[in-house]
Amino acid sequence: MTGFPGRVVSRRRRDTASRATGWWRLLVAVAMALGTAVVLPRPADAATIDTTAYYQVVSRSSGKALAVQDGSTADQAQIVQYTTGAATSQQWQFVDSGGGYYRLRARHSGKVVDVAARSTADGAKVVQYTDNNGANQQFKPVDTDSGYLKLVNRNSGKVLDVYGRSTAEGAVISQYTDNNGANQQWRLVRVDAAPAHNPALPGYNADPQVRYLAGQYWIYPTSDGYADWGSTKFTAYSSPDLVNWTDHGVVLDLANVSWCHARAWAPTIAYRDGTYWLYFSACQQIGVARSTSPSGPFTDALGRPLVSTGQYGEQEIDPDVFVDDDGTAYLYFGSGNAEVARLSASMTAFATAPARITPASFREASNVFKRNGTYYLMYSENDTRSEDYRVDYATSASPLGPFTKAAGSPVLSKDTGAGILGTGHSSVVKVPGRDEWYIAYHRFRIPGGDGTHREVCIDTMTFASDGSINRIRPTLTGIAPVTP
């Protein structure tokens, strides 16, 4: 709900604004006379909004900031005003929707400001809601004066408004016919940027496999930046918190693999009985190497491929190993089709013949994990050279399938407004002892990346009450350090 029909700005308010403007002019005049510069923070105007930044949206009438009530992350949480502070629930990113309109995305939840039920009525409730780029989620910043803006809803033509011109903590925000009230005017105050943690790894890397091993988080990527994906070495990185990474250098060099010296792609790793097992793609075949340490060095365990080129009728690449609660290990692989086989106790042979489990729209990059008795198969759709490379997922009651594509797919895709393209080839990791999950994936390098100039990112992954994966928002900022 919002202010009252037919209201006008009081003479007193106009006089107050006039006096404020007068004091400002006097200050500038004095400064000029003294030959000194006046340096005060300049609020953003409509022409200078930075879509990579976060802003507090501060009411002209109350001095309080647009916020999500109680810091909620739920759909339909009320938008209110609170005293300005450091809470991320009052920090907003302006996501470009085109035509001068933006979605206001909450930093803490990833949801956007939304006029409830697409209402066009005065007094309609304003909430946060999952971003669907609806016209009722789009607002045009329109300059007024002195650095203040009105935020005009694309669906209704009405503006964001503090109910009843209230200055109270927690007063609700709604939409209302534009009457140029001070409670309809907002100042954008840029928030000092927190350290950006995306990309998570330095340089060009892709196809990240993230694991928790030996008391730390580890990432095993494809080294990128080579024409025709021509890397010949595998590297590893470790971290205590998923943010601060140590480069362990080369852990496996294909120069030391007798059956292939080219195209080192997409490794995966598992631990069993004191040994770390690295499964890797090379020459579009799959090999297995072993080490007594997650930092290597790894040595080829077979002297030949575990899976040879074309052996099962698809590109034999992108291995993923999953160890179930009972200790049984499974290997997933394939591009074009998905295969799964149970591994023997030796970890160097199949105990069962590979079986095809290809879900709808599958391209490559299988990654399997288990949560609350459900097996999740995450995979990539389209081509890694495409900006539409993205992550889908399917579920099953068994690690051997069948897997059914989830209704919520794709669950991770590009954000053109933020310049994030080609989000794919993912893996996920759970924080030990907590139902807290993170996803590692690659995207095109920013700026100017493509399908061979990619970088690894990490973002938060959450679940709905029915076990489905909530839409994952790729970010420029990444995550905060994960504490034990």
* 3-class state of residue 19 by DSSP: helix
Confirm if 237 and 210 have CB atoms less than 8 A apart: no
Confirm if 228 and 89 have CB atoms less than 8 A apart: no
**Which of 108-142 are b and which e, b meaning 16 or more Cβ less than 10 Å from the residue's Cβ?**
bbbbbbbbbeebeebbbbbbbbebeebebbbbbbb
Distance from C-alpha of 247 to C-alpha of 84, rounded to nearest angstrom: 40
Give the H/E segment covering residue 90. Answer: none
Instruction: List C-alpha distances in Å: 314 to 266, 279, 308, 361, 383.
Output: 16, 18, 10, 15, 15
Confirm if 417 and 97 have CB atoms less than 8 A apart: yes
Distance from C-alpha of 210 to C-alpha of 298, rounded to nearest angstrom: 17
Distance from C-alpha of 100 to C-alpha of 141, rounded to nearest angstrom: 8
Confirm if 124 and 114 have CB atoms less than 8 A apart: no
Distance from C-alpha of 282 to C-alpha of 303, rounded to nearest angstrom: 13
Q: Which amino acid is at 337?
A: N
Distance from C-alpha of 180 to C-alpha of 199, rounded to nearest angstrom: 43
At residue 416, what are phi and psi to the nearest 5 degrees?
Answer: -65, -30
**CB neighbours of residue 206 within 10 Å:** 26
Nearest to 159 by CA among 144, 146, 141: 141
Q: Which amino acid is at 157?
A: G
Known catalytic residues? 207, 364
Residue 477 in tokens: 């900022």
Nearest to 218 by CA among 304, 317, 291, 299: 291
Nearest to 279 by CA among 295, 292, 261, 264: 264
Distance of CA 484 to the CA centre of its chain: 22
